[in-house]
Structure 1
């Protein structure tokens, strides 16, 4: 077996854990892939709410040529949008990636580097307006591929992005096996998984809940 493809998942305080872990769960099952978690330092990073921790395995200086880049979202992404070291690292590694990807508000970080300018992309519904200001063509699809750039909407769509990547770097047969291992067989409960389906009343309640949780996280 040749060199394994390296997948680098970015971590930071305030990360949306499912954004990061869903692609990991899909890709780490493949025989030709290794997943690393990369951040400013090796250590523990808290999730959006400050209760769950995930650990980085490498620093940005350690990882210079990943084959796949995954940028998750989360409330903490706003702290990276003006982080020149992170932005420069993304620009540099994108020169050599097979696929550069983002989940949810992680797309804002790619947009900040200019990688999404003029192309179609998706993100979490709560930050679509912010993403559009970067000259991005917004899509309502859960996973959008434009060449080697792949973006996913909310946390659950990260599973679908992971399966798509699994098919791209191995085969559809491998991806089908991964889907079965994860038993990813959605049975929609309420039909409110998008703003279009949820309608204005549920969307307003969800927005209020998001804001309340952001305040709670900032005070944690």
Structure 2
């Protein structure tokens, strides 16, 4: 049995806590065996009130004796980067991490690990909105703010909030295999078990966020016509704007250039199709507007850091090592 300890602070984002705990609990049910014992550890005493106002009752606090754990995760909260990490918290985290097989963080919990010196020279990620502050404060950490989660040896870190579920699924897969992890994802009705390299940015979410009607119209057209000509001149003409003005307004409203949005939209569609082993990759490249395998592969490598074939193999259950060897060949 593996003991999983999740450290949470007053004001914690409770989804950072309960998201991973539900994944581990469901893994026990799917495997029909008690593989994980989950406990919540508080930095204080008594009930723990989260950022939403809801309260949970922790199993123990950092003031109790340090116990060895298999997996230690630090939950984040919306204001964790605005206050110093107390010395006793750092001491507890260092001592517990030293007694664990692996440790990591969900969302802004990475600030605690970094403050304790446990991320020095390591790859890590955190919530996109706090990435700038994190990078300036901890220049010795190899921050990749565009990933859903990262794994660097025994250190695992995730992006914001719901990405903690993706991180926990990856941990379950490492422990119990892909079949159990996928069964957990299906039971929790997770839309897609996302790989760590997937970008935090979503084309569909950005389209919903756009506030200007011309930009919304352009984004809707892009999402519905991925194989069409989606150049700036074509899109600008469709919404009745000059090319220069359209490009400026699009970036201002969506936070990315039209070309970046188009590539991400095409990649979102392509990676879903790539998961189907019966569909030829060239057909996917054509259907999603990349046109050829070379262009699609470059987009996969740029945003997901794996080739389309390696990505497909990972969903076929060949495992991380097979994916890496396939990647090396392509």
What per-residue deviation string (whole Å, max 9, x for no partner) do you get for residues 23-57 of structure 1? 101012222101001114453111114x2112201
Question: What RMSD over aligned residues (CA atoms) do the two structures have, in Å?
Answer: 2.5
Q: Please identify which structure carries the higher strand content.
A: 1
SS in 2 for 1:28: helix
User: Is the Cα contact below 8 Å between 2:47 and 2:58 reproduced in 1?
Assistant: yes
- Offset of 1:191 from its aligned partner? 2.5
1:205-216 matches, within 5 Å, as none
- Offset of 1:75 from its aligned partner? 2.8
**Counterpart for residue 9 of structure 1:** 6
Query: What is the distance in 1 between the residues matched to 2:21 and 2:141?
Result: 26
1:50-89 matches, within 5 Å, as 51-60=53-62, 61-78=64-81, 81-89=84-92
**Counterpart for residue 204 of structure 2:** 190
Q: 1:156 to 1:200 in 2, by over 3 A?
A: farther
What per-residue deviation string (whole Å, max 9, x for no partner) do you get for residues 120-144 of structure 1? 1100012112221212112111010
**Counterpart for residue 301 of structure 2:** none
Task: Tell me if 1:138 matches 2:143.
Answer: yes
What per-residue deviation string (whole Å, max 9, x for no partner) do you get for residues 40-79 of structure 1? 4453111114x21122011222442111111111135358
Q: TM-score, normalised by structure 1?
A: 0.80
Say which of 102, 107, 129 aligns to 1:104: 107
Task: Tell me if 1:127 matches 2:141.
Answer: no
User: Is the Cα contact below 8 Å between 2:9 and 2:77 reproduced in 1?
Assistant: no
User: Is the Cα contact below 8 Å between 1:37 and 1:58 reproduced in 2?
Assistant: yes
Q: 1:79 to 1:57 in 2, by over 3 A?
A: farther
- Offset of 1:16 from its aligned partner? 0.6
Ranges in structure 2 where 5+ consecutive residues have no aligned partner: 29-33, 193-201, 208-249, 256-330
SS in 2 for 1:6: strand
Q: Number of aligned pairs? A: 196
User: Is the Cα contact below 8 Å between 1:45 and 1:55 reproduced in 2?
Assistant: yes
Q: 1:180 to 1:108 in 2, by over 3 A?
A: same
**Counterpart for residue 91 of structure 1:** 94
Query: What is the distance in 2 between the residues matched to 1:46 and 1:55?
Result: 9
Q: Which structure is larger by alpha-carbon Rg, 1 or 2?
A: 2
**Counterpart for residue 265 of structure 2:** none
Query: What is the distance in 1 between the residues matched to 2:189 and 2:142?
Result: 33
Query: What is the distance in 2 between the residues matched to 1:199 and 1:145?
Result: 32
- Offset of 1:180 from its aligned partner? 1.2
User: Is the Cα contact below 8 Å between 2:75 and 2:106 reproduced in 1?
Assistant: yes
What per-residue deviation string (whole Å, max 9, x for no partner) do you get for residues 135-178 of structure 1? 21121110100001001001111110010111122221211111
SS in 1 for 2:205: coil
User: Is the Cα contact below 8 Å between 1:80 and 1:86 reproduced in 2?
Assistant: no
Task: Tell me if 1:175 matches 2:157.
Answer: no
Query: What is the distance in 1 between the residues matched to 2:75 and 2:152?
Result: 18
**Counterpart for residue 46 of structure 2:** 43
